[in-house]
Amino acid sequence: MIVVVKSGTPEQEINRICLELSTTWRITPEKIAGKHKVVIGMIGDTADLDPLLVQEVSPWIEQVLRVEKPFKRVSREYRHGEASEVTVSTPNGAVTFGENQPVVLIAGPCSVENETMIVETAQRVKAAGAKFLRGGAYKPRTSPYSFQGHGESALALLAAAREATGLGIITEVMDTADLDKVAEIADILQIGARNMQNFSLLKKVGAQDKPVMLKRGMAATIDDWLMAAEYILAAGNTNVILCERGIRTFDRSYTRNTLDLSVVPVLRSLTHLPIAIDPSHGTGVCALVPTMAKGAIAVGTDALMIEVHPNPAKALSDGPQCLTPERFERLSQELAIVAKAVGRWQQPAIAHV
């Protein structure tokens, strides 16, 4: 349930309303100041609460809205219908993910293999316009016999690539036991599709400060995904970016997964969180990546995460879906055309009025 307070309500009255709400009904009020108004989110079991009784708490209350969805903190209503932004500091400066910001490019190999390849890839993707380098140190692999990532030593290589280029680093944390060491290097922590509902991991990343990119589970509904994000916000971390990476459907003959681009407008109506699209895992086929990346910008994604490897044929993981640095450079130019057409390239778009 959300209490919308009239604009111009004195701060003291807002605090009094919060106090009365928390003492009368065992809920936790959370004050959220927007551009024009303050809303109070009522966290707790509000199922049996009569909105008319809440309305009587103060003549300054404009409206009491029931949030029909199970998620609250991630819901669009919770932020007065406005989009939130996630700003990440990198050595090259702050980068902001959000609906009214330029599309952010994240690129790099599936896994960190050695120092030369990660530093060279970082330099190439930076030159093509990427703001973040991706690369797995800890890899979730279907087979226990496949390359599992170089672990801690790969984190040091990511730090070297950051040092060489100033790019921000995004890398996956698979296990709560590794969180501190991954968070020491990463500018954004990635939660992989297979861990989307690892609730202990979600609570832990929610209780620390680094921004989180939460990938959609391969069989997750949108509600499942948003409830997973709710865990992170409920634990205190509001810097969450949602990343669509394809879901399992019946046809796996031509694509590895089915990239759900319709999720972008759907999420826009449901949540204030920024959205990223990963067309590499979303298709599993390098030839399909450019087309889907352009499509993702056209439907309004805030960021793209693309796998790039200097020699895809020799990659230790996900070679078939990796672009070469040359192809990524060309793609970046192609993306610029689409992104400029929708006002999302370099210069921030004019905010909606």
List 131, 210, 272, 281, residue binding ligand PEP (CB under 6 A): 281
Residue 21, C-beta contacts closer than 8 angstroms, at least 6 positions apart: 3, 27, 29, 40, 42, 54, 57
Q: Report what 192 binds from Mn ion, ligand PEP, none; CB cut-off 5-8 Å by kind.
A: ligand PEP
Nearest to ligand PEP of 76, 210 (CB atom): 210
122 contacts 132 by C-beta, under 8 angstroms? no
Q: Answer for the pair 189, 213: CB distance below 8 angstroms, yes or no.
A: yes
Any contact of residue 217 with ligand PEP (CB under 6 A)?
A: no
In 44-100, DSSP assigns E strands to 61-65, 86-90, 93-97
3-state secondary structure of 346: coil
**Least distance in Å: CB of 91 to ligand PEP?**
22
Pick 136 or 325: Cβ nearer ligand PEP:
136
Please give the residue whose beta carbon sits closest to ligand PEP in the complex: 192
For 123, phi then psi, to 5°, come to -65, -40
* Closest among 315, 320, 316, 308 to 145, alpha carbons compared: 316
Query: Is residue 162 at the binding interface for ligand PEP, with CB under 6 A as the rule?
Result: no
Residue 124 or 215 with smaller CB distance to ligand PEP: 215
Q: Which residues of 19-50 are buried (b: 16+ CB within 10 A; e: fewer)?
A: eebeeebebebeeeeeeebbbbbbbeebeebe
Rounded to an integer, what distance in angstroms lies between the CA atom of residue 274 and that of residue 352?
Answer: 16
- The one of Mn ion, ligand PEP, none whose footprint includes residue 217, by CB under 5 to 8 A per kind, is none
Determine, following the binding rule CB under 6 A, whether residue 140 of this chain makes contact with ligand PEP: yes
| Shortest distance in whole angstroms from residue 135 CB to Mn ion | 10
Strand-pair category, 38-43 with 28-33: antiparallel
Nearer to ligand PEP (CB atom), residue 313 or residue 350: 313
Residues 185-204 that bind ligand PEP (CB under 6 A): 192-194
Q: Tell me, residue by residue from 98 to 127, as one string, x for binding to ligand PEP by CB under 6 A and - for no binding.
A: ------------x-----------------
The answer to the question of residue 222 lying near ligand PEP (CB under 6 A) is no
110: contact with Mn ion by CB under 5 A:
yes
Give me the residues that bind ligand PEP (CB under 6 A), please. Answer: 110, 136, 140, 192-194, 215, 245, 281
